[in-house]
Structure 1
Amino acid sequence: MTADRLPPPPDSRASRLEGWHHRFTRVAERARRWHWLWPPVAFAAGAASFFLVERQQWLGAALALGMLVAWVLLLTESLIARWLTHRGYPALPRGITTFIAQMVHQETLFFTLPFLLATTVWTSGQALFTALMVGLALLSILDPLYYRLAARHRWLYFAFHAQCVFLVVLVTLPTVLHLTTGESLIIALIAMMVFSLPSLMQLLRPMNTARWLAMLVLLPLLAGLGWLGRAWVPPASLWLSGHALSPGFDEQTRTPEGGLRLTPQALAAHGLYAYTAIHAPRGLEEKVVHEWRHEGRLIDRIPLQIQGGREAGYRAWTHKRHFPEEASGRWRVDVMTASGQRIGVLRFRVSDTPEQATLADGRIRLPVGLPGLDLRRLIARPAEAP
């Protein structure tokens, strides 16, 4: 007489994983009904981080850190899915994973837009970069185009993904880790190069030895081109909150003073002060440079050291005493990071005719763009030390 063999006990761990799988799928399906809310929520979070970065440093950093955590989850999703399927557990449907990726892409683009809009020098090539990022943000909310990109043009989809990685690293590291804009840019370019790998693999399929070698050449070339074009990338943590030209300067109060028509004779007698107030996150120390240019040609390069945290911006100035004999023409002072990203620009004209020469009157002017609108006045300010 033989006893019937009992069925093996169910794998409790597999049951729990399947239960979590079904719950997560249901939550994702319900969230898809409200996906239109996500872009404005992400934009509001980015604006809150931007406005609160000096008032409530910990809150601004927490929002930026949450942005990084979302990316870690997205980047590990494919690894988790492979781990589950390798052990016989079901993975999430591709439609759900694409929807999650879309939400993270929307979060990235709309979170970083306030930083880009504030730090873009709109009279330079940075305007094209920011306009392109606005275009990508709009693409991320147009479901037919986004899902067509994800399904039919995988190499472009992965390139889109790599660009989002570049943005999130560029914007969050100065706030969370107090890295300089140059250090953040280098790390962002490396991250973009790594996450461009799937895009190149899709573009060069089927892979063979020659195409592997081509990809190994294209990746550093891509990073090199990004570095060469760094002047077109806004320094997402620095912006010019005020600037002035003046013949005199009160170093005790750090304010420009006096007035002068910029004729060659006046410059030879008095020189010229270029005053800039540069906003930076609290805790960030950054080297910046005033580059004096005449008709586009570099004449002088004067380095400065700034510290972040002051509401009205760190007040810095340079005094140029010696001008060329032929000083007439168009001048500008480019305010640059040490790594070569433009923070702002001051323009003036020198002429023998006083009526055509710029008046350097010491008046502090606001830049064009979001800092010029000074929306931070809508939020109550803490007491500020002089």
Structure 2
Amino acid sequence: MTRWQDSLNPAVEWVTTFLRRYPGLVALFGFVSGLASFLLVDRQAGLAKVIAAVMLVSWIWLVLGHSLRAWLERRFGLRLPPPVLHYATQMIHQESLFFILPFFAITTTWNSGQAVFTSLLGAAALVSIIDPLYYRQLAPRRWVYLAFHSLTLFAVLLTALPIILQLSTPQSYRWALGIALALAFPSLAALSPGGWRRWLIAPLLLITLAGVGWLARLWVPPATLWLTEVAISQQLQERTPSQRLRQLSVAQLQADGLYAYTAINAPRGLAEGIQHIWRHNGREVDRIALNIQGGRQAGYRAWTHKRNFPPEPQGNWQVQVVTEAGQLIGVLRFNVVD
């Protein structure tokens, strides 16, 4: 056992030194694995699940880090010095953030508030690979570091849970928010003032963060749902639009009504409820529920047919495609003129 320990400890130190010398390799691996999961989520669902599961397993190390380190030292005599542990945490942050970026980049509606959330993830990914920012500016500020850590875990869960467990978007959001806050609670309690006030302030903070997180869902992209094809059309032929309209007259609108056609890509086996929200000059005039089934490479084709329009329908129209939780998947736009 001693010989095995003597050979393992130098190996750990060598790997750590190598990764510190080439920090971009971890970020590159995270990005490539995320891109692979994104591309394989339909074609090779099993492999995508494995890659996503690896991301979650790495977070188990962070959650149970102290207990696991004590067990490794007691069972195998493997001692991990603090610098190694700090770098392992940074490595998991890098790998996780670059893993989720391809998903959020493609599912974000960039002319909406979702751009703020995805840009925040991109900024966090850059901070994770720049050592002076990560160790000198982020890590010493415990509240900021806790927010950074919780945001990363929240985004990873949003991405991995639908792939692994086929949870719907509302279910994934609730579970991701709940798990991230539950794991943040010990840190919230430790950062709160001492004495009896700690047990009053920490739960209040947790409840406040839960409410803010749920309200902020409108700004969070559905990480595993995206539009592959959209169209506004007056007719459908063999379940596909016969034309794609950006502008039409009142007479055309009143003749046969309009179809809002959407093809939505979703992970294999995922059943999802969505809604088409018809808006006229910013005001909601209709909301129609639909159900989709994941696993089709070209996306699940769904449409709504609207016949009833206001007496004066001229102006700007939108059809917002949203999840049951209100997260925006995409928007169709068209104009009605005299």
Match of 2:42 in 1: 54
Relative to structure 1, is the Cα distance of residues 17 and 149 closer, same or farther in structure 2, using a 3 angstrom cutoff?
A: farther
* Number of equivalent positions: 336
Match of 1:334 in 2: 320
Q: Equivalent of 2:172, from 184, 194, 212?
A: 184
- Name which one, 1 or 2, has greater alpha-carbon Rg: 1
CA–CA separation in structure 2 for the residues paired with 1:219 and 1:259: 48
Residue 162 of structure 2 corresponds to residue 174 of structure 1: yes
Q: Equivalent of 1:255, from 240, 245, 270?
A: 240
CA–CA separation in structure 1 for the residues paired with 2:244 and 2:58: 53
Match of 1:295 in 2: 281
- Residue type of the alignment partner of 1:176: I
Match of 2:133 in 1: 145
How far has the Cα of 1:332 moved from its partner? 0.4
Of stretches 322-331 and 26-35 in structure 1, the one that deviates more from structure 2 is 26-35
Match of 1:217 in 2: 204
Q: Percent identity?
A: 49
3-state DSSP of counterpart to 2:308: coil
CA contact (8 A) 1:173 1:184 kept: yes
Match of 2:66 in 1: 78
When normalised by structure 2's length, the TM-score is 0.92
Of stretches 104-113 and 69-78 in structure 1, the one that deviates more from structure 2 is 69-78
- Residue type of the alignment partner of 2:210: A
CA contact (8 A) 1:154 1:199 kept: no
Relative to structure 1, is the Cα distance of residues 136 and 207 closer, same or farther in structure 2, using a 3 angstrom cutoff?
A: same
Relative to structure 1, is the Cα distance of residues 342 and 209 closer, same or farther in structure 2, using a 3 angstrom cutoff?
A: same
Of stretches 323-332 and 337-346 in structure 1, the one that deviates more from structure 2 is 323-332
- Residue type of the alignment partner of 1:227: W
Relative to structure 1, is the Cα distance of residues 325 and 24 closer, same or farther in structure 2, using a 3 angstrom cutoff?
A: same
Structure 1 residue runs of 5 or longer lacking an equivalent are 1-11, 353-386
Residue 99 of structure 2 corresponds to residue 111 of structure 1: yes
Of stretches 195-204 and 263-272 in structure 1, the one that deviates more from structure 2 is 195-204
How far has the Cα of 1:21 moved from its partner? 5.0
**Is the helix fraction higher in 1 or 2?**
2
3-state DSSP of counterpart to 1:80: helix
CA–CA separation in structure 2 for the residues paired with 1:137 and 1:259: 38
CA–CA separation in structure 2 for the residues paired with 1:56 and 1:85: 38
CA–CA separation in structure 2 for the residues paired with 1:269 and 1:150: 60
CA–CA separation in structure 2 for the residues paired with 1:259 and 1:129: 31
CA contact (8 A) 1:157 1:199 kept: no
How far has the Cα of 1:26 moved from its partner? 4.2
How far has the Cα of 1:242 moved from its partner? 0.9
CA contact (8 A) 1:155 1:202 kept: no
Of stretches 147-156 and 339-348 in structure 1, the one that deviates more from structure 2 is 147-156
- Residue type of the alignment partner of 2:12: F
Residue 108 of structure 2 corresponds to residue 120 of structure 1: yes
Pairwise CA RMSD: 2.3
CA–CA separation in structure 2 for the residues paired with 1:351 and 1:52: 43
Of stretches 134-143 and 119-128 in structure 1, the one that deviates more from structure 2 is 119-128
How far has the Cα of 1:227 moved from its partner? 1.0
- Residue type of the alignment partner of 2:300: Y
How far has the Cα of 1:290 moved from its partner? 0.3
CA contact (8 A) 1:159 1:199 kept: no
CA–CA separation in structure 2 for the residues paired with 1:276 and 1:222: 34
CA contact (8 A) 2:279 2:285 kept: yes
When normalised by structure 1's length, the TM-score is 0.81
CA–CA separation in structure 1 for the residues paired with 2:78 and 2:296: 53
3-state DSSP of counterpart to 1:40: helix
CA–CA separation in structure 1 for the residues paired with 2:262 and 2:271: 16
How far has the Cα of 1:185 moved from its partner? 0.7
CA contact (8 A) 2:19 2:26 kept: no
Relative to structure 1, is the Cα distance of residues 242 and 118 closer, same or farther in structure 2, using a 3 angstrom cutoff?
A: same
CA contact (8 A) 2:61 2:68 kept: no
How far has the Cα of 1:83 moved from its partner? 5.6
Match of 1:321 in 2: 307
How far has the Cα of 1:154 moved from its partner? 2.0
- Residue type of the alignment partner of 2:126: L
CA–CA separation in structure 1 for the residues paired with 2:252 and 2:139: 65
Match of 1:67 in 2: 55
